[in-house]
Chains A and B, each alone.
Chain A
């Protein structure tokens, strides 16, 4: 239709052009085909001039044209005639072009193959399928040119596609190696396995060979032995290439492969060739080290471990083939679907197809989790379900995790009836059954396996049963734990719940002991409590305290030594001022949470570093507090609570003075005490009292001074001492 719309002259012109073009094409096709056939037949006699070698190396450049053309043509032949594509593929010109380019590519390939180093069988397949494709395309061009092919295109289309596939695939095998195509799905090559135990890894097998595999095997394999060097087999590797052995044991620096790797990358002899993946400095170091140590093919990594190359070894092992068999990785989607609040799944290590699964005790726990894990049964290396409420029923599902090496079933609800199912786990190395309720007869079936390490601590097994199990276990590793210490231990002290040191009217002491059944004996009369001797009262309910009181207490329980005795002193402070003011502020380092702590009834912290509840005074600053009472109380005694920590220079006061008054500002000294400077280190809490002239006072002033110069025995001699005060008590 479209052609009818064209002017007649144009049609004619286009026709003549087509014929002229077609005939050139046909001649070219014919020439190249004949040349190809001729060269194929007399291949052995070809002596390749340099310029042809250059053409040969252009083979990889142009080979995709014939593939595309043949594929398009082949598919076109399969299409019904009404499609434009089909029309295309039924044209003489198309097939002429295809045949010519195929022939040219095949010729170049033939030149390239003369450089050698290719596996002959694969090369032949490649060569002859290419030739067949060339001739086939030529045949199609001839038939279409004659117009003699009008139906039955399908077989031709299929044949073309088949030849293209065969030829292309074999070409791929020649350049990339035979396992290139399926590598991503073939387990042997995809998973980079993990050496479970570095000790067992071998230097050559697990460290050196994987490097060669990655960087050298592509060109030195049975299909493509560049430089006559075959590295994939041990014999080939030892034999070397066209220039002899490539490594000399103990002499890395004279070894060809090391030398060539060190050549500048633009040197023709540099290996791996420029443009190919290069050896990293670490990889080179490893190969160098291996040769230096004698190029031993059986040596274990562990033999070299104390060496400083350890870091490189271990770093390189991940890429190594391993003690663990290679398996396909589980799909990430499946793994994600199996994860939950109580089931965590992680790879054993980066890139490893093996997984570790942790099943936890959790409110959402479902027993069918183990059945679900069957979806990744091959990948689970470690299953830790210790502590989860696993029962006998789930053991069967666990026994289906065929590659399990380590299994934790401690602290579960199993009774042991189905434990024998675990014998199905052929690779199991570690089984934790601690802290269960297992009987000897349930455990016996598991005994005898040499590789299994069994943990049995904390099961109700008597001495006799244990001895029997040990006997049956033979050389198997049986862990029965440490027998409980039979020594009688001392109880810990009773716990006093938030005891107050100071109180105004009355207070309560609440005691408890964490161990069930422990009895607390206490006294209020200063004697040391001792239940056995009948000294003291058994604590039953909180102790009410109304006056200054010391309470001594300790805990006792059968099977234990009594605890050490503890005591608490309670001090009453009857009057709390309505207002008070600190005339000299505390040292900024020890403000203790504010001045108000002087009358808050709370004891300071046991240690000054916590700096809680203590006001600290030093040198010119001293305790000087003025108090005011709305209703003047009858006062007899004023005391201060202090802290003593000698090595922190926190020492006793030297004086405590009290002034009283009923008129503001007119002070009268109503009491004074001075304290001798200690002759040795003192620690703990201490109350210092000062009796005052009894009477009612609306105003009260309490002054206490720290040591100005520490005595000569003190390591801080000459320095000022600290005074720490947590409460002023007025009675």
Chain B
């Protein structure tokens, strides 16, 4: 045992080192003020090992990611394909499908009839961005958003696809994007976690969400996302028990910290330090969370902007409003999930409901951030984990059909911090099946986001079990076409 402890002490790795430096890289960055060349050395290997804090002033300081879990169909949102009308019910040409792998849900299907969009599209904004009639409010902010129609992924099932989006790998266990951001950039507000998660659920067919999507993987666990629950108790076990004063709590935490410190010195487990920090964070959140959740200061016009649902905890609208409040309080990465976008059947009906849940509040968030001067340095992302097939799954009627999972192209939009507003990027073929121009792979998307946050995605690296890990793994190219 003694030997293991000694070895562990000798092995004190960067993780422990960073934890010691209070909060992430923040203080390291300050340290480098005195020694500007601290991280610059000629040794490329060493340089690559060090987390890349903004090489130049970042364009975005924080991210609000409105994740539409379940994968909304691109054909009924942003990828307008009028020619499909003429091909109603025709078989999808094999030359288009090119042997694309199918999920177990449609692999038994004998026919792949083309299902044009049930909903109409309109052009919005100065550049005539095509947006479906499901999203009239998002239409109003068309000049502020950049629609990307050519995102593509490698996974065809929900959990691998979301996990790939969030962690850069289809299997769970790696740190999620928010954890990387927390690790690389620290927090602007030490009274709240740098990475916070809000979930809501629509009435549509939904898929599960798992905590690994906001996990810290092999990074220090202080970087994992903290989930705010809808309802009266947004963070469980945060309140002091009755009769305990703040001073008593403080004293107790100090004693526990001393014991933990002791244990750390004996055992050398860096997670012990993370634990001390988490107790501290929880203590600070005892005051910061109630202040955050108190919507008294929101005006009537704000309530109307987001829709009255924003006052109902746990709804998507409420989460959007909270996201803005978190952004105002300097939280680095706010991750929303809205479930219910998995329309294998009954698509027109279910998507209508889902769109109603998110349309007004998503647009309101952009408008609200903009008028508060926050959109300039807040990056907002809206989208799901993959697209949906142009062919119908299951029962097929003009006004009722379903779509299976489709990885080769799908649409998302981004707005704010460093994003070129009012444009549509990338082209897909007439079937919205393959990318014709300007593909954006998930790793490209991640690399671009990191660049906007002032991080070189090739430099933010963590060495774990003898291998170096990045969010973008071994690929990822910045997409200058969507950057302002």
B residues near A435, Cβ cutoff 8 Å: 372
Chain B's nearest CB lies how many Å from the CB of A496? 12
Chain A's nearest CB lies how many Å from the CB of B125? 14
A residues near B304, Cβ cutoff 8 Å: 484-485, 489
A residues near B160, Cβ cutoff 8 Å: none
| Chain B count of residues within 8 A CB distance of the other chain | 68
B19 within 8 A of A: no
Contacting pair B371 A347 (CB below 8 A): no
Contacting pair A646 B345 (CB below 8 A): yes
Q: Select one of A318, A329, A484, A607 contacting B33, CB under 8 A.
A: A329
| Chain A count of residues within 8 A CB distance of the other chain | 78
Chain A's nearest CB lies how many Å from the CB of B222? 16
As a 0/1 sequence over residues 437 to 454 of chain B, the CB contacts with chain A under 8 angstroms (1 = contact) are 000000000000001001
Contacting pair B305 A194 (CB below 8 A): no
> Which stretch (B50-58, B163-171, B265-273, B380-388) binds chain A?
B50-58
Contacting pair B57 A195 (CB below 8 A): yes
Known contacts A317-B55, A352-B57, A648-B205; A492 and B36 CB within 8 A of each other: no
B207 within 8 A of A: yes
- When C-beta atoms are compared, the residue in chain A nearest to B39 turns out to be A350
Contacting pair A350 B52 (CB below 8 A): yes
B373 within 8 A of A: yes
Contacting pair A434 B371 (CB below 8 A): yes
Q: Select one of A308, A353, A360, A645 contacting B330, CB under 8 A.
A: A360
Docked Cα-Cα span, A492 to B291, in Å, equals 25
Contacting pair A410 B372 (CB below 8 A): yes
Docked Cα-Cα span, A196 to B187, in Å, equals 21
- When C-beta atoms are compared, the residue in chain B nearest to A190 turns out to be B36
Contacting pair B191 A350 (CB below 8 A): no
A residues near B376, Cβ cutoff 8 Å: 430
Chain A's nearest CB lies how many Å from the CB of B43? 11
A residues near B480, Cβ cutoff 8 Å: 305-307, 310
Q: Select one of B33, B370, B454 contacting A351, CB under 8 A.
A: B33
Contacting pair B29 A347 (CB below 8 A): yes
Q: Select one of A191, A197, A341 contacting B284, CB under 8 A.
A: A341
Please provide the chain A residues from 554 to 593 with a CB less than 8 Å away from any CB of chain B in the complex: 560
Docked Cα-Cα span, A196 to B56, in Å, equals 7
B127 within 8 A of A: no
Chain B's nearest CB lies how many Å from the CB of A544? 24
Q: Select one of A317, A344, A353, A384 contacting B56, CB under 8 A.
A: A317
Contacting pair B56 A434 (CB below 8 A): no
A residues near B54, Cβ cutoff 8 Å: 348-350
Chain B's nearest CB lies how many Å from the CB of A668? 43
Contacting pair A347 B33 (CB below 8 A): yes
Chain A's nearest CB lies how many Å from the CB of B356? 11
Contacting pair B371 A479 (CB below 8 A): yes
As a 0/1 sequence over residues 302 to 321 of chain A, the CB contacts with chain B under 8 angstroms (1 = contact) are 00011110110011011000
B190 within 8 A of A: yes
Docked Cα-Cα span, A241 to B346, in Å, equals 77
A residues near B367, Cβ cutoff 8 Å: 482
- When C-beta atoms are compared, the residue in chain A nearest to B457 turns out to be A311
Known contacts A489-B304, A647-B402; A195 and B373 CB within 8 A of each other: no
Docked Cα-Cα span, A307 to B477, in Å, equals 12
Contacting pair A196 B57 (CB below 8 A): yes
Docked Cα-Cα span, A713 to B397, in Å, equals 12
Chain A's nearest CB lies how many Å from the CB of B369? 11
Contacting pair B56 A194 (CB below 8 A): yes
Q: Select one of B189, B203, B284, B481 contacting A358, CB under 8 A.
A: B189
Please provide the chain B residues from 278 to 305 with a CB less than 8 Å away from any CB of chain A in the complex: 284, 287-288, 291, 297, 299, 301, 303-305
Docked Cα-Cα span, A350 to B454, in Å, equals 10
> Which stretch (B145-153, B247-255, B306-314) binds chain A?
B306-314
Known contacts A194-B56, A432-B373, A492-B308; A344 and B188 CB within 8 A of each other: yes
Chain B's nearest CB lies how many Å from the CB of A285? 15
B159 within 8 A of A: no
A-B contact pairs, 5 of them (CB 8 A): A335-B30, A341-B284, A384-B188, A482-B370, A492-B307
| The 8 residue pairs across chains A and B that have the minimum distance between CB atoms | A481-B371, A715-B394, A514-B311, A647-B345, A349-B54, A457-B371, A350-B53, A432-B373
